[in-house]
Amino acid sequence: EAGVTQFPSHSVIEKGQTVTLRCDPISGHDNLYWYRRVMGKEIKFLLHFVKESKQDESGMPNNRFLAERTGGTYSTLKVQPAELEDSGVYFCASSFRGTPLHFGNGTRLTVT
């Protein structure tokens, strides 16, 4: 079974640019989550999709972040325009109906 895959693995962009992160969950997993780990801090929840619907987006930092999950399959997280404090590792995770989350390898975003 393929795991959660994320693309790209690394991204370096300049302040003010746009970046789009992609997550492909495990096939059949309705739940898809985005988390972020900023250097030295804990992994923080960003949002949760159930299929294509946003169940909880209380962790999204501000309106520069936009997440979508069209068709309930893969998800994208766009940051526009990127700021220095957006640097960190963005993890995607998926699960099926209350089972434990499986994480992707993350996308390391560096904003310079």
Partner 1 sequence: QKEVEQNSGPLSVPEGAIASLNCTYSDRGSQSFFWYRQYSGKSPELIMSIYSNGDKEDGRFTAQLNKASQYVSLLIRDSQPSDSATYLCAVIVSNFGNEKLTFGTGTRLTIIP
Binding site for partner 1 (CB under 8 A): 33, 35, 41-45, 48, 55-56, 58-59, 91, 93, 98, 100-106
* Closest approach of partner 1 to the CB of residue 16, in Å: 28
- Position 27, amino acid: S
Specify the residue, 56 or 83, whose C-beta has the smaller distance to partner 1.
Answer: 56
Rounded least distance, CB 42 to partner 1, Å: 4
Cβ–Cβ under 8 Å, residues 4 and 103: yes
Is 17 or 26 the residue whose CB approaches partner 1 more closely?
Answer: 26
- 77 burial level (CB within 10 Å; 0-12, 13-18, 19+): buried
**Smallest gap from residue 82 Cβ to partner 1 (A):** 22
Beta carbons within 8 Å of 50's beta carbon, 6+ residues apart: 30, 31
Q: At which residue do the structure tokens 């946003």 appear?
A: 54
The distance of closest approach from Cβ of residue 29 to partner 1 in the complex, given in angstroms and rounded to an integer, is 14
Q: How far apart are the first and last CA of the chain?
A: 37
Taking the least distance from each CB to partner 1, the nearer of 14 and 56 is: 56
Question: Considering beta carbons, is residue 35 or 65 the nearer one to partner 1?
Answer: 35
